[in-house]
Amino acid sequence: MASDDELRIRDRLGKLGNLPLLRGVAVSGELKRLQKQLKRLEQEPAPAGDDIWLSVELARHQERPYTLDYVERLMDDWTELHGDRARADDPAIVAGIGRFHGRTVALIGHQKGRDVAERVHRNFGMAHPEGYRKAMRVMELADRFGFPVITLIDTPGAYPGLAAEQHGQGGMIARCQAQMARLRVPTAACVIGEGGSGGAVAFAIADRVYMQEHAIYSVISPEGCAQILWRDGAEARKAAAAMKPDARHCLELGVIDGIVDEPRGGAQLNWDEAAFSLGETLRRGLADVESLGPEERRAARRAKFRSMGVTA
Amino acid sequence: MASDDELRIRDRLGKLGNLPLLRGVAVSGELKRLQKQLKRLEQEPAPAGDDIWLSVELARHQERPYTLDYVERLMDDWTELHGDRARADDPAIVAGIGRFHGRTVALIGHQKGRDVAERVHRNFGMAHPEGYRKAMRVMELADRFGFPVITLIDTPGAYPGLAAEQHGQGGMIARCQAQMARLRVPTAACVIGEGGSGGAVAFAIADRVYMQEHAIYSVISPEGCAQILWRDGAEARKAAAAMKPDARHCLELGVIDGIVDEPRGGAQLNWDEAAFSLGETLRRGLADVESLGPEERRAARRAKFRSMGVTA
Amino acid sequence: MAERIDVSIEHRGAPDQPAGKRHPNTCPACGSHYREDELRASAWVCRHCGHHFAMRARDRISWLADPGSFTEAALDVRSADPLNFFDLRAYTDRIAEAEMATGLGDAIVIGSAQVDARACELAVMDFSFIGGSMGSAVGEKFARACDAAAEKGVPLISIPSSGGARMQEGILSLMQMPKTVVAIEELHAAGSALITVITNPTTGGVVASLAMLGDITVAEPGSLMSFAGPRVVSNITKEKLPEDFGRAESNFRLGHLDAVLPRAELRPYLAKVLRLFHGQ
Amino acid sequence: MAERIDVSIEHRGAPDQPAGKRHPNTCPACGSHYREDELRASAWVCRHCGHHFAMRARDRISWLADPGSFTEAALDVRSADPLNFFDLRAYTDRIAEAEMATGLGDAIVIGSAQVDARACELAVMDFSFIGGSMGSAVGEKFARACDAAAEKGVPLISIPSSGGARMQEGILSLMQMPKTVVAIEELHAAGSALITVITNPTTGGVVASLAMLGDITVAEPGSLMSFAGPRVVSNITKEKLPEDFGRAESNFRLGHLDAVLPRAELRPYLAKVLRLFHGQ
Ligand SMILES: [Zn+2]
Ligand SMILES: [Zn+2]
């Protein structure tokens, strides 16, 4: 249950963003986190056009650390699990178990490729339904053994290919969200680069959802939005400024629970520092919800997502 | 819990077959059924060579009623459900919901074809992994809504094609059994023709498992057994006599819970009578376990299968 | 960089609109023309070739629900403009115009009803309101329909029609996907059923959330249902797609639908299914 | 009538036995010949080409378990002959011969052990006992291994190798499939893990039950793992099968395995996985 202080700060956070965002969310021991977020919202100016576009570029920077770079720095005894037990192993998604701060967790993330060959192999981090099915299998395993689940989100979107559609891309993404909403274990998610539409949200139904400082999270790519609304893909900067896919705005809109600091200039400049910062946030995020019972935790998670959006 | 009378009869049934077959199985209100089975084992001689071969032929008779013929006669408001939500709808398996004796149940069964075109379409009742996945989806739905599950088994075996193997035929059959072992609702299964090996057993992990009088249930077809052990497929009669796939022997071996009478001469001669008899048995079978709690029922189901086999 | 898939409105998913304006009452398949009352009398099915015209949400409800049984809920819920979104026009203008043009508060109508004397909740989308796109108002109303069905212990009949997410609400439109998903989870936890009728077109984020989680999912003939629209996919694959790409008939064949039902068979089918789920 | 698939012993799934008798210590891949002690020293891997020879169950356990840590269980469980089965020979003769030839009670050895100082249960099959076929004794012993792991709250490491079901036990051999499946369900209900190492060959009923339900499932290189054996499948498809049909490498590619691990990497991998599942 939330303390009075927590409720007061959540209220102020809500008011700052002018949103009914925190209704019904059980919280526990996260006073400090909330205070920090509040400070961020109060003191730092909201980014506008150029700042937002910088994040779009940094989020897609080809030297930015990817899921396996963080795994290497944050996990011991990492054991990658492969295959959907039906027809494929999708390299655009990495899933496995390992030890994180002394306890076994499951980690699932999109994986982009570093060089041209790996980019093609990883399909630019765009998963097929088989990838989401692999993820769901590992989530099920984690839930059964009480392993907390960490997801790292970094995808332009789910792959829009013919076979992907024929094998039920939409339904698989829907069921992946449903499965995350059902998990009894603590869960934490972080957008570590591009949080592109449905392919991203499939992994984002977590107790704590974070974004790195220069990650983006959006319903459509700025280029796609510009193409449709401005009828000109080159107006992507305008579209980005209008959609506000940056972490600061996502926090203000109540969509995420916190922002993970990046090294000055972006995560691509210091992978170790970026990983340390990410690891600390994930550790604290899981600890925040650890003390809740499984039912209470799940109910709080559902209530959080149930409350998102703004209506008149 | 079993009454003393029930335990005594079960003990005698076990001794007749010389088997430790009924250990640990919770039972409820099935005294009459047991007495009838006991009478059958005591009074009717066990079938030998020719009788067993007659059952092999009748089980495969092309005029024998198939799953949808029973559905037509036993279910109201039948609603067939289609598709595995991944890549196919396997016509070798029929699954749906309907009303059976006044309450909604799910029914799943293998489906053979009547004429040449339908036989090909139904792949002779040999399912792909996608068919078992469809069945599992409907079982999950039934469990969630508290619909009892009925399965009708009638297959030469799971389809041994290249794609079937590539898509995980073995694993899917294993998971289908596991799912039936997990269901909380009452379940009843009946072999209505050929109960061919793994493809059949996938649907047979039920609280009550029956065979029609002339159905067969076996680990391998008589032809396959003859080919391997006699090195001559033409020795199928000998193989059948040795394997004893008939209902009477399966009952004696503790593999099934009862035998469903067929019209004199076989189910193919009177579909309505065969359906009536099957319906009555399934109704009583579900009623037998209805009064148990979900946990107790599931534990009894597992204990029954855990106890099967004979070791020295 | 490879092309991206988006869950935003895909106008390309809209019913075919060949060059030149065709009157909405002219059948796009055979060219037959009907008066409004003729279409209404045939449940918006072409009497000549069987083409299923799109149905407006309120028309759908009048046609489906027992006469006088429908009580609309959440009439007051409206889209807000949390991002002060402005592209070539202001989002608030687009909403106002859609409201004027359709007489609807947003792209969904919800409420309680009876179908063949069985109680249920309805959530019916309307493509004519900004392409049936899902913003906060659609998400909220769909979730409230789930809440109501859960509370009353009755099935929810959901009839989606959508081009995808309402991109003018940015990330909040994306969040309507998990919002509707968790509402369905709660509906299921309460033991109520979700029965989904896919209509043409249903694409984008709605497909990756509320549209594909039905306990029973059927579609009207010819309905397009895909996450990525055909043009995005053909740009990616650089191939001509199968004729029936994403259509109900191919989705049925590929295992994603329980049935493809002509409109004439839909009401008795839903009545039957309601009987089965009510029987418990 | 189309061909049938059976879960019975498929001798065709056995390691290649080309015409002419090859000495068991001769590498079938490159022809190198080894003395028994050489093979033992290399964990039965060809030093020349890397071919993995089959390992006997007791050899596997000595190699895998910490020295002196293994305690065998259910030593007394033997196959019975419930059908009085007689084909060209009596089943009882076949069993007696297998027992003499292998020194095993049946095609599986179970017991408790430590691997890298972590407690676990082991269930290791042996193909040399009637083709590793699963009858009542194998099913019973595997189930008891599950029981023991569940009771002690430790993982079960299962190492199958099987041609399928023991058809001389008729329907009772088929019933070992659900028997092992329900034992695994109980193992899981107790919170213990099942870690499976597929070895060459693993086919038939074992694939459709105990072999494919691991929480983690890995395979040795080149191991055949398929429900229907390659000859049955090629008779059905009337086509030449892919070179690597059913082999570990293709099963990995097709999503059925978590890893393909050379024998040299297997012990450290299992030690790591035991640490992860013990950590809870
Ligand atoms: Zn027409
Ligand atoms: Zn060699």
CB–CB of D166/D127 below 8 Å? Answer: no
Q: Which residue of chain B is at minimal alpha-carbon distance from D143?
A: B306
What's residue B8's pLDDT?
Answer: 60
Q: Say how many Å lie between the CA of residue D7 and the centre of ligand 2.
A: 31
Q: Say how many Å lie between the CA of residue D202 and the centre of ligand 2.
A: 21
Q: A266 in contact with D at a CB cutoff of 8 Å?
A: no
The verdict on a CB contact (< 8 Å) between A224 and C183 is no
Residue type, C25: N
Which whole number is the average pLDDT over C228-237? 89
Taking CB atoms and an 8 Å cutoff, what residues of chain B touch C252?
82-83, 89
The verdict on a CB contact (< 8 Å) between D6 and B221 is yes
Residue type, A269: L
What are the C-alpha distances in Å from A164 to residues A206, B86, B91, C227?
A: 25, 10, 23, 9
Distance from the C276 Cα atom to the nearest Cα atom in chain B, whole angstroms: 6
Numbered residues of chain C with Cβ closer than 8 Å to any chain B Cβ: 188, 191, 193, 212, 215-216, 252-259, 269, 272-273, 275-277, 279-280
Decide: helix, strand or coil at residue C30: coil
D3, D6, D10: best to mutate for the B interface, most B CBs within 10 A: D6
Segment holding C39, helix H or strand E: helix C36-41
Decide: helix, strand or coil at residue C158: strand
CB–CB of A173/C227 below 8 Å? Answer: yes
The verdict on a CB contact (< 8 Å) between C258 and B81 is yes
Q: A83 in contact with B at a CB cutoff of 8 Å?
A: no
Q: Which residues are close to ligand 1, an ion, with C-beta < 5 A?
A: C 27, 29-30, 32, 46, 48-49, 51
The verdict on a CB contact (< 8 Å) between B250 and D254 is no
CB–CB of B87/A167 below 8 Å? Answer: yes
Average pLDDT, chain B: 90
Q: Which residues, in sequence order, are bridge partners of residue A194?
A: A216
The verdict on a CB contact (< 8 Å) between B167 and A86 is yes
Q: Between chain D and chain B, are at least 3 CB pairs below 8 A?
A: yes
Q: Between chain C and chain D, are at least 3 CB pairs below 8 A?
A: no
Distance from the C31 Cα atom to the nearest Cα atom in chain A, whole angstroms: 30
The verdict on a CB contact (< 8 Å) between C207 and A305 is no
Q: In sequence order, which residues have a C-beta less than 8 Å from that of residue B98 and are 6 or more positions away? A: B71, B75, B76, B77, B78, B79, B104, B105, B107, C276
- Chain B neighbours (≥3 Cβ pairs under 8 A) are A, C, D
What's residue B45's pLDDT?
Answer: 78
Q: B167 in contact with C at a CB cutoff of 8 Å?
A: no
Q: Which residue of chain A is at minimal alpha-carbon distance from B163?
A: A87
All structural domains of chain D, each given as residue ranges with its CATH number in brackets, are 22-53 (no CATH), 55-277 (3.90.226.10)
**Tokens 């490729």, located at residue:** A113
Q: Say how many Å lie between the CA of residue D46 and the centre of ligand 2.
A: 5
Q: B131 in contact with A at a CB cutoff of 8 Å?
A: no
Instruction: Give this prediction's pTM.
Output: 0.93
Distance from the B243 Cα atom to the nearest Cα atom in chain D, whole angstroms: 5
Per-residue tens of pLDDT for chain B, all 312 residues: 345 655 666 665 655 544 444 433 434 445 666 666 777 777 777 888 889 999 999 999 999 999 999 999 999 999 999 999 999 999 999 999 999 999 999 999 999 999 999 999 999 999 999 999 999 999 999 999 999 999 999 999 999 999 999 999 999 999 999 999 999 999 999 999 999 999 999 999 999 999 999 999 999 999 999 999 999 988 999 999 999 999 999 999 999 999 999 999 999 999 999 999 999 999 999 999 999 999 999 999 999 999 999 998
What distance in Å separates the CA atoms of residue C254 and residue A168, rounded to the nearest whole number? 8
Distance from the D215 Cα atom to the nearest Cα atom in chain A, whole angstroms: 7
What is the bridge-based pairing of β-strands D259-260 and B76-81?
unpaired
Q: B312 in contact with D at a CB cutoff of 8 Å?
A: yes
The verdict on a CB contact (< 8 Å) between C258 and B104 is no
Q: Which residues of chain D register pLDDT less than 50?
A: 1-19, 280
Residue type, B189: A
Q: Say how many Å lie between the CA of residue D218 and the centre of ligand 2.
A: 22
The verdict on a CB contact (< 8 Å) between B86 and A168 is yes
Q: B168 in contact with A at a CB cutoff of 8 Å?
A: yes
Closest CA to D3 of B192, B223, B90: B223
Strand ranges, E, within D116-220: 118-125, 156-159, 194-198, 202-203, 216-219
- Helix C176-189 and helix A169-182, axial crossing angle in degrees, nearest 10: 60
Taking CB atoms and an 8 Å cutoff, what residues of chain C touch B147?
280
- Chain C neighbours (≥3 Cβ pairs under 8 A) are A, B
The verdict on a CB contact (< 8 Å) between D171 and B124 is no
What's residue D15's pLDDT?
Answer: 47
H, E, C per residue of chain A: CCCHHHHHHHHHHHHHHCCCCCCCCCCCCCHHHHHHHHHHHHHCCCCCHHHHHHHHHHHCCCCCCCHHHHHHHHCEEEEEECCCCCCCCCCCEEEEEEEECCEEEEEEEECCCCCHHHHHHCHHHCCCHHHHHHHHHHHHHHHHHCCCEEEEEEECCCCCCHHHHHCCHHHHHHHHHHHHHHCCCCEEEEEEEEEEHHHHHCCCCCCEEEEECCCEEECCCHHHHHHHHHCCHHHHHHHHHHHCCEHHHHHHCCCCCEEECCCCCCHHHCHHHHHHHHHHHHHHHHHHHHCCCHHHHHHHHHHHHHCCCCEC
Residues 59-78 of B with CB under 8 A from C: 77
Average pLDDT, chain C: 92
Decide: helix, strand or coil at residue C134: strand
What distance in Å separates the CA atoms of residue A26 and residue C25, rounded to the nearest whole number? 52
Q: B151 in contact with D at a CB cutoff of 8 Å?
A: no
Tokens of B258: 């009862």
What distance in Å separates the CA atoms of residue D244 and residue D251, rounded to the nearest whole number? 9
Distant-in-sequence contacts of D97-105, Cβ < 8 A, 24+ apart:
D98/D128, D98/D129, D98/D130, D99/D129, D101/D128, D102/D56, D102/D126, D102/D128, D102/D129, D103/D58, D104/D57, D104/D58, D104/D129, D105/D75, D105/D76, D105/D77, D105/D78, D105/D137
What are the C-alpha distances in Å from C3 to residues A88, A160, A221?
A: 23, 8, 10
Per-residue tens of pLDDT for chain A, all 312 residues: 345 655 666 665 655 544 434 433 434 445 666 666 777 777 777 888 889 999 999 999 999 999 999 999 999 999 999 999 999 999 999 999 999 999 999 999 999 999 999 999 999 999 999 999 999 999 999 999 999 999 999 999 999 999 999 999 999 999 999 999 999 999 999 999 999 999 999 999 999 999 999 999 999 999 999 999 999 988 999 999 999 999 999 999 999 999 999 999 999 999 999 999 999 999 999 999 999 999 999 999 999 999 999 998
Tokens of D246: 């059913």
Tokens of C151: 């509370």
What's residue A9's pLDDT?
Answer: 63
- Is the pLDDT assigned to residue C241 strictly greater than 80? yes
What distance in Å separates the CA atoms of residue D265 and residue D256, rounded to the nearest whole number? 19
CB–CB of C121/C149 below 8 Å? Answer: yes
Q: Say how many Å lie between the CA of residue D21 and the centre of ligand 1.
A: 74
More confident residue, C90 or A28: C90
Radius of gyration of chain B (CA): 18
Q: What DSSP designation does B202 have?
A: T
CB–CB of B171/B213 below 8 Å? Answer: no
Nearest to C259 among B82, B85, B88 (CB): B82
What are the C-alpha distances in Å from A144 to residues A28, B302, C225, D189, D192?
A: 24, 19, 34, 9, 10
What is the bridge-based pairing of β-strands A258-260 and C202-203?
unpaired
Tokens of C85: 């979104």
Q: A161 in contact with C at a CB cutoff of 8 Å?
A: yes
Q: Which residue of chain A is at minimal alpha-carbon distance from B130?
A: A86
- Judged by its nearest atom, the ligand closest to the C-alpha of residue D32 is 2
End-to-end CA distance of chain A: 29
Taking CB atoms and an 8 Å cutoff, what residues of chain B touch C276?
77, 79, 97-99, 104
- Judged by its nearest atom, the ligand closest to the C-alpha of residue C34 is 1
Segment holding C146, helix H or strand E: helix C136-152
Distance from the B234 Cα atom to the nearest Cα atom in chain C, whole angstroms: 40
Q: Say how many Å lie between the CA of residue B131 and the centre of ligand 1.
A: 37
Decide: helix, strand or coil at residue C274: helix
Task: Write out pLDDT tens, residues A69-80.
Answer: 999 999 999 999
The verdict on a CB contact (< 8 Å) between A83 and D258 is yes
Q: Where are the domains of chain A?
A: 4-46, 54-306
Q: What DSSP designation does C221 have?
A: T
- Provide the ipTM: 0.93
Q: B163 in contact with A at a CB cutoff of 8 Å?
A: no
Residue type, B10: R
What is the bridge-based pairing of β-strands B93-100 and B76-81?
antiparallel
Counted across chains B and C, CB pairs separated by less than 8 A come out at 64
Which whole number is the average pLDDT over C213-219? 98
Question: For the domain A54-306, what is the CATH superfamily, name and number?
Answer: 2-enoyl-CoA Hydratase; Chain A, domain 1 (3.90.226.10)
Nearest to A198 among C79, C227, C239 (CB): C227
Nearest to B89 among C193, C253, C272 (CB): C253
